[in-house]
Amino acid sequence: NAGVTQTPKFRILKIGQSMTLQCTQDMNHNYMYWYRQDPGMGLKLIYYSVGAGITDKGEVPNGYNVSRSTTEDFPLRLELAAPSQTSVYFCASGKGTPQHFGDGTRLSIL
Amino acid sequence: QQQVKQSPQSLIVQKGGISIINCAYENTAFDYFPWYQQFPGKGPALLIAIRPDVSEKKEGRFTISFNKSAKQFSLHIMDSQPGDSATYFCAAKTSYDKVIFGPGTSLSVIP
């Protein structure tokens, strides 16, 4: 009963590097979301998907890309990492609203 | 305006007291209002949710009150316990399925 699994849990990147944050869910949810949470702040929606092959921008999509080729997976791609992307990233899934969140990926850009 | 306002930023309540967190919105296209609880080092967890055609919803010690005309909603935690100490987020879902979070309230319940 894994729920939402995010990998890696921690990562340090250098400015300009790229990486993919992985997110997998095993609950057959159509809806999946990526949020970022900065210290002491709420969650900001980066991208979301309402089903395989369908993605849409959230509040803060610049600098990120997503894809949704399967129901289970919703990877988040960072191109040309910048210090402003230092944050905790949460993936979530649900049946129309975020119901289950992963434990997050803590990303530092130095 | 796709924004959800939340107050207070932090709240200290004595054990057994009532914790009240308030949220407000402007976009009348929001059609679903969930609340989340987050413990340090963990992702948020869905706590309770309400639709705008309902004025109140209760689940155990947690109650949402919804005032559609004022575009405000609130979370009441009755008989607050130290284990309720966490950060609470209100959120709102648009008709396009975006779910926007408020900035959060850090609740501390002291014995």
Question: What are the tens digits of pLDDT across the range B24-80?
Answer: 999 888 999 999 999 998 999 999 999 989 999 999 999 999 999 999 999 999 999
pLDDT at A97: 87
pLDDT at A33: 95
Phi-psi region of B26 (alpha: psi -120 to 50; beta: other; left: phi over 0): alpha
Across the interface, of B41, B43, B89, the residue whose CB is closest to A42 is: B89
pLDDT at A1: 62
Q: What is the DSSP string of chain A?
A: ---EEEE-SEEEE-TT--EEEEEEESS--SEEEEEEE-TT--EEEEEEEEETTEEEE-S--TTEEE--SSSSB--EEE-S--GGG-EEEEEEEESSS--EE---EEEEE-
The band of A96, judged by pLDDT with boundaries at 50, 70 and 90, is confident
CB-CB under 8 Å, A101 with B32: no
The predicted-structure confidence for A99-108, as pLDDT tens digits, reads as follows 899 999 999 9
- Is the model's pLDDT at B1 over the cut of 80? no
Q: What mean pLDDT is predicted for residues A1-30? A: 94
- Is the model's pLDDT at B107 over the cut of 70? yes
pLDDT > 90 in chain A, percent = 89
Contacts of B49 in chain A (CB under 8 A): 97
Q: What mean pLDDT is predicted for residues A44-68? A: 95
The band of B94, judged by pLDDT with boundaries at 50, 70 and 90, is confident
Q: What mean pLDDT is predicted for residues B6-26? A: 97
pLDDT at A35: 96
Across the interface, of B45, B93, B101, the residue whose CB is closest to A42 is: B101
3-state secondary structure of B12: strand
B50 touches chain A (CB under 8 A): no
Phi-psi region of B36 (alpha: psi -120 to 50; beta: other; left: phi over 0): beta
Calculate how close chain A gets to B92, using CA atoms only, in Å. 9
For B101, which residue in chain A has the nearest alpha carbon?
A: A43
Q: What mean pLDDT is predicted for residues A54-61? A: 94
For A101, which residue in chain B has the nearest alpha carbon?
A: B43
Across the interface, of A35, A42, A48, the residue whose CB is closest to B97 is: A48
